[in-house]
Structures are given as C-alpha cells and as structure tokens.
Amino acid sequence: MANSYLVEPDVNFVRQLKTMGGETLKKCYQCATCSVVCPISPDERPFPRKEMIAAQWGLKDKLVGNMDVWLCHHCNDCSTYCPRGARPGDLLNAVRAYSIQEYAWPKWLARIVPDPRFWWLLLAIPMAIFVMILGPAGYLKIPAGEIEFAKFFPTLLIDLIFVPLATFWVPLVFGIGIYRFMTDLHKNAVAEGKAKRKDLNIPDFLKSLACALPAILAHSKFDECSSNKDRYISHLLVFFSFLGLFVVTNCFFVALYILQLPGPYSMGNPVKILANISAVALLVGVILMIYNRLQDKGDNIGKGSYFDWSLIILVLGLVVTGILSEVTRIAHAPILAYPIYFMHLVFVFCLFAYLPFSKLAHLVYRTLAMAYSRYSEREPCE
Amino acid sequence: MTEEQRAEETKGSILVVGGGISGLTATLEAAEVGYEVFLVEKNPSLGGRVAQLKHYFPKLCPPTCGLEINFRRIKDNPGITFYTMAEVENITGSPGNYDVTIKVTPRYVNEKCTCCDDCAKACITKIPNEFNFDMSTTKGAYLPHEMAFPMRYVISPKIIGTEDANKCVEACKYGAVDLNMQPETITVKVGAIIWATGWKPYDASKIDNLGFEYPNVITNMMMERLAAPNGPTNGRIGRPSDNKDISSIAFVQCAGSRDENHLPYCSYICCMASLKQATYVREQFPDAKIYVFYIDVRAPGQRYEKFYKTIKEDENCFLIKGKVAEVQEDPSTRNITVVAENAVTGEKVQQTVDVAVLATGMVPNTADTKLPGGVKCDPDGFVISDLAAGGIFATGCAAKPLDVTSSNQHATGMALKAIQTLVKS
C-alpha cells in the first residue's frame, strides 16, 4: 500500500463494458463477498472483487490481459450472493468479450462481428464467396438424380475455400491475437504479483498446457460451480461433439484424398456413426444451453449479450442444417437438401472465419490462461 | 377513576402501540404535558428490546438505568393506562377521532401476585425462554425477566388445561393465579395514534453461507443475552458448545444487511453493537483476540467515532475490511473458521475462532402483518407516518432503524406530532 498509484480512468472502456453485459458494475460496494463465494478463485489475490473496482475505475490494463478474467468460468455464484446485484460474473464475461475484440485483428472485422447491426453481412460474405466460385464453374443449380452433395458443391471447391481458411486465415489472424494476449497476460501477472516466475519460457509453458488439458477436458472447473450446475452438462456435450466432428472431418479428409474414397459413406461406417452421435450431442447440448439461459431469466447465467447469443444461434444453425442435410438427402428431397446444405456450409464458414472474433475465441484464450495459471504457479498442476 | 372523568380533565387522548423505549418515551412525553395516553404492549412486560441488552449506548449503562426511571414515571402518572399482552385489533375513524379496539390475552395471574415464585416451583413443564432467544428455558409459570414491569408472573398458554396449571393455582398462597381469565376486548377513543412496535432480529438461518446452524455461531442479540447478568449464563460469555473461555471471537458485520437477498438497508446499530460487544469480551477475557469483519464501519457522530477509535487502539482487536461470506465448523473442536477477502491487502483471510457473532439487522415487527386502520408500510415493512394527513405516526424502529438515543429523540418529536393533531382537530 506504500506505493502510490496514479489512477487514469478510461471512461470509454467503462461505457463499453456496460454495453457488453456489465451494466451493473457500478453497483459494487467492494464487500468482497464474491471473492469468497467463488468456488474456483485462489486464496492469494482472489478474484473478482479486484476486477470490479478496476472496472469501476476504468483501469483497462488491469482487466484486459488479466488471466483471472479467463480463469472465471461464469458460474455466477458471485452474482447469486452479491448483496448489491452488481453481478461480478457478468462483468467478467463482458471483459472477456471486450478482450476478444481488443486482441483480434483486423480491427474492422473485430468491430462488426460483435455488432448486432451487421449479422447479415457476416452471412453475406461466405454466400458471396461461394456464389463467386460456384457460379462461373457452372454449379449452383439443383442437380438431377440421386442426391450427391458433390454434384452441387464439388468437394475440391469446398476444400479450396475451407483448407486455406483453416490453415492460413485462422492461424494468421489468431496468431496475432494470441501473441499479444500472451504478452499482456505475462506482463499483468508479473506486475500484480500473481506470477511466481518472471520469465516466459515456451517449452515450460507447453508443459503447463499439457497439464491444464485434463482439467479442460473433464470440465472440472464447471463442476465446482453451484449456481450454474446445469451448464456443466450442456457445455460438456457441445465441447465433445465439436471434438468428435473435428475428428470426423479429418478422417473424411484422409479418406478422400489419401484413400481415394469419396462420400456419401454408409450409415454403418464407424466414422459416420461418430459423426451422427456428435451431431445429436451437439443439438442436445446447444438446446440445453438455450433452455438454461431462457429458463433462469438471467438470474444465474446472466441474460447474455448479442456476443453470447450470436455464437449459440450460429451453432444451432450449424447443427440443424447439418442434420437436415443428411435427413433430406436420405429422404430424396433435393429441393430442400441442396439449399440446406448450402446454408450449412455458410455456417461452417462463419464458425471458422470468425473464430478469433467471436465468443468461440474463448476456446483458445481460456485454454492459454488456464495453462498460464499453472505455468505461473497460481494454480497447482494436478 | 372512570374514563369519563379522566377525559374531562385531560386535553385529549393518544394511543401508543408498543412499550419499548420509543413507545415509553412517546407515552411519557405526551402524558407529562397533560394528555391521556393508552399504551398497548404485546408482551407481558414493558421495556422492549432495550430490556434484553447488557449495556446500551451512549453511556454503556445497563438498561435498568433508563427503564426504571421510565417505569417509575408511568406508575406516577394517572394519565397513563397501559395494557400488556395486548394488541390493537381494529382502528376506525379519522385524525382527531379514532375508535380503537384492543384485544387483551389472559395472563392468568392477577394483581395479587407478589412474585414469590411458588407457582413456578410447582410447575414441571419447561418452555423455551424467548427473552433469551431460546438459549434457556423457563417454567410454564414464569416472570418475563427480573426487571419486568409490571412485576407479575405469567402462566403460559402452553400449560393451560394441564395438571401443571392446577398445581400453580394450588401453590399460590395469595390467590393470584386465575385460570378463568378470558380474553378481553377494550375499546378506547383517541385523537392520535403513535405506532412504536419496534423490531425483531433478522432470522439468521435465512443466511445460508454464514453457518448459523453451528452452535458456536450466534447473533448479536444472543450475545447481549449471554453477556447480560440476568441472561442464561448469568453474564458469563462462554462458548455455547462447551462453555469454555473465549480466546478468540469474530464479529461478522452486515450479516444479512445491506444485502438485496436479505435486508437491503443498513440497520444503523450493528456496527456500534459489535464494537460495544468487543468491550464485553475484553472485560471478561483480557487476552482474547477480537476480529471484526466489516464492509465499512458506520460509527455516526463524534461520540460513536470516538468509541470506534478506542476499540481500534486495542492491540488485540483487529478490524478487517472484507465481508465474511463463508463459515465452516471443525466438527472435532467445534471451532469456527470465517472466510473473507481482506480488500485492503487483496488476500483471502481464513480466521479460526471460538465463536462467531453475526451482526444481524433489524426487521420491523410490522414487516409481515397487515396493520389495522389502513396504516401503511414501506416495502421493507417500516411504518410510514403520513405527516400531511396527521393522526397516525410511526416512531422508533417501527419507523426506521435507530439506536436508543435517536429513538428517544424521534419519539419525542412524534409525541408532539400527535399533540398537534389533537390541538388542530
């Protein structure tokens, strides 16, 4: 306390947090109930009381790049017990949304992804790209005969779009964000005395990452929540079904280009089974997420902003069109099957292309923060 | 003296509901300038919450010191009629002209009682002692407490109709036990009404994270009873689970107060009450460590601020800025661990102590009852004084959370408001 600290409030930052779901932040009176009732906050320099005052004072450098913001799993036990209705859990969610935009590049895209006025533009971009590629090549009309999606949208063309997207765009754009994020994370942790080690050693960090993975896969932090227990199962379903679909996509990629086996594959194919199970799990998971959010009227999980809902709706669109593509194909309804398949690809594109800008970016940032907290010995490595 | 005679002599009548410190003050202030006052008290004795305290502010004197003189003034004033074990049932009329019905429940003991205790000795049944927050029991025939006014025993309705009640009748040499007493309804005409129904402690069991289920977690009002010489332990502050000496104690401020999940308001007295209780502990256990966990200490006014400063100077008294939000018990030692974040250092504090005292706030007694005569309450249950309309006024903790000094000032003011109604009408 002997050190003097010149407070330089960033009023605009406070205003932005308030529009992103943190509108109650000014109600906090610093009683610190939140830091104690939080089931996952550490004993040393616990959160989120200090984050609340930093938000009130507009201390952006204490929030953006603060690993604690990402260690929070939005249980909202803090918000349930908060005597003032200041909703610390929702504030940290708003800080995360702000941070994603802060680290994302290019900036114009970082601004329009979370902006509800531009949802149509985000969908129009992939549609335009698809039309521009398919149109001149003579596709884009409903083919006759047995439904084969490759007749409508050749696999080669799909991969021409999606492979660069996944291997070039996402790593490049996200790489910039990740680099800046990690730099800030380390700087903030050292400055606030949360890090036991002052250097940032990559091999050791990767070891910490490996050590954080079991907790991430098991969703063990979610499991410690009490106000928001319902979220554990829905997030687990969504997480593992995405993992399943990732495995499926890679298997089919290998099947097509290395083994020369084009689809559609039989229903008894083990990879196809995994695909179908994952699709159903994803549908159930995302419906549970929507149900939980609507049912508790914002008491526990928080009302959620456009930033939260846009990802949920995108995933819902993705899984519904995915399942319907398959169903309409089997039902021999080309007039439905091809347009639905087209929309499915639009949603897949959105998921990948906007990954570093959307809420889905938490997949990477939270993972890194959880790894860093072990690296910095803020949390033990189980 | 009949009522007709008295009405001619006096300048008008006022009803005071509640015989705690505010009601007593309002009664006396109005009666001593010549008004007739009817005082209605729900309990068998006057004195209210103040009678339960060990010491009260500002001079840290025992409650006898203020209550006795007030009881004396009531006895000496022919203009005051008081009813105990009585409640206002109905009010009709308008400012200056109210008809009030009062329901009096039977005490089963008449004015011949000499407090010889023979009825209590004869009675076998024990009932929880509400005056001591159920930390002890009394017999089915009991004196509310040793400073009770009127100084008269009560037969609990719980033993009416049992063999015990007959034993009480037989034991009484003075013919004071009268089991044939019936509920009575009394009607009075008054020009103004002062609502002084006071408060009750917030139910600590509603605060699910502060461990009130553990024996060594008590409330501040329980602490007053433990420390009071006429309390369940004759004033010894022992650990409730084993009566062991206290070597450390934690005061948990704002337990259910300033909290929209419980009481959204500040109850005004709890900070000073805990600081005062720190002096009780210090008196009995000179080396005990005292921890006070607070959001911010509210010590209003110069005198309270000074009191706060003297507590801070005690080197075994630690004031920690951070609200306790978790309480655990070690089942083997029965020790209590309170958890808070020290907001000054930013570290989590886990303090193990012998006893934790929850500084619970005040709930107005009017919070969960519909009041007669259209008397209105605010959303927290405090009675609203309609000063423009006049006629019915609230004072003391029925109006807002207050300490004794402010209650007295407030009650004096409201007595004047009641008098104004009479003069105007």
**Cβ–Cβ gap B326/A36 under 8 Å:** yes
B328-340 confidence digits (pLDDT tens): 999 999 999 999 9
Q: Is B208 on the interface with A (CB under 8 A)?
A: no
Residue in A32, A42, A85 nearest the CB of B343: A32
Residues of chain A with pLDDT under 50: 1
How many residue contacts between A and B have a Cβ separation below 8 Å?
65
pLDDT at A231: 86
**Cβ–Cβ gap A30/B258 under 8 Å:** no
Give the start-end residues of each E strand in B2-125: 13-17, 36-40, 80-83, 86-94, 97-104
Closest CA to A34 of A272, A282, A227: A227
**Chain B: residue whose CA lies nearest to A35:** B341
Nearest CA distance, A5 vs chain B (angstrom): 14
- With H, G, I as helix, E, B as strand and everything else as coil, classify residue A211: helix
Q: Alpha-carbon distance B130 to B119, whole Å?
A: 19
Residue B423 has pLDDT above 80, yes or no: yes
**Cβ–Cβ gap B348/A50 under 8 Å:** no
**Chain A: residue whose CA lies nearest to B320:** A31
**Chain B: residue whose CA lies nearest to A49:** B343
- For residue B342, the chain A residues in CB contact (below 8 A) are 32
**Cβ–Cβ gap B348/A83 under 8 Å:** no
**Cβ–Cβ gap B254/A84 under 8 Å:** no
Share of chain A above pLDDT 90, in %: 76
**Cβ–Cβ gap B346/A45 under 8 Å:** yes
Residue B5 has pLDDT above 50, yes or no: no
Q: Is B415 on the interface with A (CB under 8 A)?
A: no
Rounded to two decimals, the pTM is 0.92
Please, which contacts does A129-132 make with residues 24 or more away whose CB atoms are closer than 8 Å? A129/A161, A129/A349, A130/A161, A130/A342, A130/A345, A130/A346, A130/A349
Kind and range of the H or E run holding A321? helix A306-330
pLDDT at B4: 47
Q: Alpha-carbon distance A82 to A31, whole Å?
A: 9
**Cβ–Cβ gap A31/B347 under 8 Å:** no
**Cβ–Cβ gap A31/B348 under 8 Å:** no
Which of A24, A27, A36 should be substituted to probe chain B, the one whose Cβ sees the most B Cβ atoms within 10 Å?
Answer: A36
Q: Is B1 on the interface with A (CB under 8 A)?
A: no
Strand partners for B357: B218, B251
Residue B10 has pLDDT above 80, yes or no: no
- With H, G, I as helix, E, B as strand and everything else as coil, classify residue B251: strand
Closest CA to B210 of B359, B320, B349, B363: B359
Contact A269, A208 (CB under 8 A): no
Domain ranges of chain A: 11-102, 107-375
pLDDT at A302: 64
- For residue B348, the chain A residues in CB contact (below 8 A) are 35-36, 42-44, 46
Tokens, residue B17: 């509901």
Q: Alpha-carbon distance A208 to A161, whole Å?
A: 34
Amino acid at A182: M
- For residue A300, the chain B residues in CB contact (below 8 A) are none
| Burial zone of A12 (CB within 10 Å; 0-12 exposed, 13-18 middle, 19+ buried) | exposed
- For residue B258, the chain A residues in CB contact (below 8 A) are 29, 31, 83
Kind and range of the H or E run holding B139? strand B137-139
CA dist list (Å): B40 to B20, B58, B82 = 10, 27, 6
Q: Is B258 on the interface with A (CB under 8 A)?
A: yes
**Cβ–Cβ gap B324/A36 under 8 Å:** yes
Average pLDDT over chain B, rounded to an integer? 95
Contacts of B150 (CB under 8 A, 6+ apart): B45, B46, B84
Tokens, residue A203: 């091999």
Amino acid at B95: P
Q: Alpha-carbon distance B356 to B253, whole Å?
A: 10
Q: How many CB atoms lie within 10 A of CB B134?
A: 12
User: HSE (CB half, 13 Å, CA atoms) of A346?
Assistant: 24
Residue in A31, A37, A45 nearest the CB of B347: A45
> How are beta strands B336-342 and B347-353 bridged, if at all?
antiparallel
Nearest CA distance, B300 vs chain A (angstrom): 19
Q: Is B361 on the interface with A (CB under 8 A)?
A: no
Q: Alpha-carbon distance A242 to A355, whole Å?
A: 14
Contact B274, B311 (CB under 8 A): no
- The values of phi and psi at residue A214, to 5°, are -55, -40
pLDDT at A136: 86
Tokens, residue A288: 């549970």
**Averaged over B269-297, what is the pLDDT?**
97
Give the start-end residues of each E strand in B236-334: 248-255, 289-294, 317-321, 326-329
pLDDT at B374: 87
- For residue A62, the chain B residues in CB contact (below 8 A) are none
Nearest CA distance, B256 vs chain A (angstrom): 8
Residue in B260, B324, B350 nearest the CB of A83: B260
pLDDT band of residue B7 (cuts 50, 70, 90) is very low
∠ Cα A225 A227 A229 (to 5°): 55
**Chain A: residue whose CA lies nearest to B345:** A1
Strand partners for B338: B327, B351
A236-264 confidence digits (pLDDT tens): 999 999 999 999 999 988 998 888 887 77
Which of A30, A33, A38, A44 should be substituted to probe chain B, the one whose Cβ sees the most B Cβ atoms within 10 Å?
Answer: A33
B348-391 confidence digits (pLDDT tens): 999 999 999 999 999 999 998 899 988 999 999 999 998 988 99
**Cβ–Cβ gap B325/A37 under 8 Å:** yes
Amino acid at A331: A
**Cβ–Cβ gap A32/B340 under 8 Å:** yes
Helices (H), A165-304: 170-191, 202-218, 220-224, 230-257, 270-295
How far does chain B reach from its first CA to its final CA, in angstroms? Answer: 26
DSSP A166: I
Which of B271, B323, B351 should be substituted to probe chain A, the one whose Cβ sees the most A Cβ atoms within 10 Å?
Answer: B323
- For residue A76, the chain B residues in CB contact (below 8 A) are none
Domain A11-102 has CATH 1.10.1060.10: yes
Q: How many CB atoms lie within 10 A of CB B362?
A: 27
pLDDT at B1: 42
B21-36 confidence digits (pLDDT tens): 999 999 999 999 999 9
- For residue B324, the chain A residues in CB contact (below 8 A) are 36
**Averaged over B236-256, what is the pLDDT?**
97
B190-244 confidence digits (pLDDT tens): 999 999 999 999 999 999 999 999 999 999 999 999 999 999 999 999 999 999 9
Q: Alpha-carbon distance B80 to A245, whole Å?
A: 86
Which of B337, B341, B351 should be substituted to probe chain A, the one whose Cβ sees the most A Cβ atoms within 10 Å?
Answer: B341
Supply the ipTM of this predicted assembly: 0.89
Contact B280, B237 (CB under 8 A): yes
pLDDT at A51: 97
**Cβ–Cβ gap B341/A37 under 8 Å:** no
**Cβ–Cβ gap A83/B259 under 8 Å:** yes
**Cβ–Cβ gap A83/B261 under 8 Å:** yes
**Chain A: residue whose CA lies nearest to B350:** A43
Phi and psi based region of residue B342 (left: phi greater than 0; alpha: psi -120 to 50; beta: remaining) = beta
**Chain B: residue whose CA lies nearest to A83:** B259
Share of chain B above pLDDT 70, in %: 97
Kind and range of the H or E run holding B363? strand B362-364
Q: How many helices (H) and strands (E) does chain A have?
A: 18, 0
**Chain A: residue whose CA lies nearest to B343:** A32
Give all domains of chain B, ordered by start, each with its CATH number. 3-105+183-198+365-424 (3.50.50.60), 118-171 (no CATH), 204-361 (3.50.50.60)
Q: Alpha-carbon distance A210 to A195, whole Å?
A: 19
Phi and psi based region of residue A353 (left: phi greater than 0; alpha: psi -120 to 50; beta: remaining) = alpha
**Cβ–Cβ gap B295/A84 under 8 Å:** no
